[in-house]
Amino acid sequence: MQVPSVSPDWWRELFDEVYLKTDFRSVLDGDVTRGEVDGLIQALELQPQEAILDLCGGHGRHALELARRGYGRVLVVDFSLPLLDIGRAQAKKEGLAVTFLRGDARAVPLARESFTAVALLANSIGYGATCQDDLEILREVWRLLKAGGRLFLEVADPEFVRTHLARQSWHEAPEGLVVCRRRWLTEEHLICRELVLCRSRGLVRDRAYQMRLYQPEELRTYLKEVGFSAIRVAPQNEPDSQPQERGSLSRRLAVTAWK
Ligand SMILES: C[S@@+](CC[C@H](N)C(=O)[O-])C[C@H]1O[C@@H](n2cnc3c(N)ncnc32)[C@H](O)[C@@H]1O
């Protein structure tokens, strides 16, 4: 099978209700999210009164968990309207004060120095056509942070992806879905074609997407270029022992950086 061509805008369309089902083992598992929030709180020593931005926060699973733990000033920015709607509805249902805002992470419609902490969790960069897009996101994080503020960023561990990630996989997902993935590795990217089939409805989705694989040194260089200091990039073991395959996110690099 040939390496599929990937639309540079794939990320504008993929993250919807179907994605929540195809990736349910990560994004709908409360234990996984709680473990990730433990990691975030620990890494940044987050305090409840802080102004926290969950950038590319999707349906706000981390932001909602922070709010449940008493963090009262949490805001989610994401491009996906369906995910934001799901997050808003959940916040309303639980009476949690989380704000959801639609925006492009490269140009967030918020005033500079609005936050003391920014989280970019679960591999939400590396989607753009060039690394310039990611650099723009990091510059936005810098602009949005107050002096002394910090960033926590997670990306797929490139070594794990190259040595352990199955080139083909399939799994069953909620509502009778079957998710089949075929993966290719280039020097810079992980490319994936995803077929989603439904027992009753047939083909639900046939999409290709890609993510840039960042080496720790590259991340350090970009963050330094933007102005960050005290940059730490470390492989992160799973916070919980997750027996199921969670794709490229099974092992991550965790990055902390200070403005
Ligand atoms: C893998 S999902 C992770 C979502 C969330 N952080 C989580 O762990 O549940 C990546 C998210 O990044 C968002 N995203 C990607 N690029 C973006 C951009 N340039 N601006 C805003 N959101 C973006 C997508 O809409 C999607 O919700």
Give the model's pLDDT for residue 63: 98
Give the model's pLDDT for residue 57: 98
The number of the ligand 1 atom at minimal distance from the alpha carbon of 127 is 16
User: In the beta sheet, which residues pair with residue 180?
Assistant: 170, 195
> How far apart, in whole angstroms, are the C-alpha atoms of residue 116 and residue 42?
15
Assigned domain for 125 exists: yes
Tell me the CA–centroid distance for residue 58 and ligand 1, in Å. 5
Assigned domain for 167 exists: no
pLDDT at 211 over 50: yes
Q: What is the pLDDT of residues 157-201, one digit of tens each?
A: 999 899 988 899 999 999 999 999 999 999 999 999 999 999 999
Assigned domain for 228 exists: yes
Alpha helices, H only, the chain: 11-14, 17-22, 24-27, 30-44, 61-68, 81-94, 131-144, 158-164, 216-226
Residue closest by Cα to atom 10 of ligand 1: 124
Assigned domain for 199 exists: no
> How far apart, in whole angstroms, are the C-alpha atoms of residue 207 and residue 227?
36
The number of the ligand 1 atom at minimal distance from the alpha carbon of 137 is 19
Percent of the chain beyond pLDDT 90? 88
Assigned domain for 202 exists: no
Give the model's pLDDT for residue 239: 47
Tell me the CA–centroid distance for residue 212 and ligand 1, in Å. 14
Report pTM: 0.95
The number of the ligand 1 atom at minimal distance from the alpha carbon of 106 is 19
Give the model's pLDDT for residue 245: 61
Residue closest by Cα to atom 4 of ligand 1: 58
Q: Supply 117's token pair.
A: 């902490």
Assigned domain for 73 exists: yes
Assigned domain for 128 exists: yes
Band (243; pLDDT cuts 50, 70, 90): very low
- In this structure, the residues whose C-beta lies within 6 A of any atom of ligand 1 are 11, 15, 27, 56-58, 61, 78-80, 83, 104-106, 121-124, 127
Count Cα atoms within 13 angstroms, Cβ side, for 151. Answer: 30
DSSP code, position 109: S
Band (215; pLDDT cuts 50, 70, 90): very high
Residue closest by Cα to atom 2 of ligand 1: 124
Q: What is the pLDDT of residues 77-117, one digit of tens each?
A: 999 999 999 999 999 999 999 999 999 999 999 999 999 99
Give the model's pLDDT for residue 242: 53
Query: Structural domain tally of the chain?
Result: 1
Question: Considering only CA atoms, which of 215, 214, 211 is closest in space to residue 181?
Answer: 211
Mean pLDDT to the nearest integer, 42-55: 98
Residue closest by Cα to atom 14 of ligand 1: 56
Strand order in the sheet with 229-236: 98-102, 73-78, 51-55, 115-120, 145-156, 252-258, 229-236
> Which residue among 101, 124, 248 has the greatest number of ligand 1 atoms within 8 angstroms of its CB, and so is best to mutate?
124
Assigned domain for 171 exists: no
Band (240; pLDDT cuts 50, 70, 90): very low
Do residues 209 and 194 lie in contact, with contact meaning Cβ atoms separated by under 8 Å?
yes
CATH code for position 144? 3.40.50.150
Range of the domain at 110: 13-156+214-258
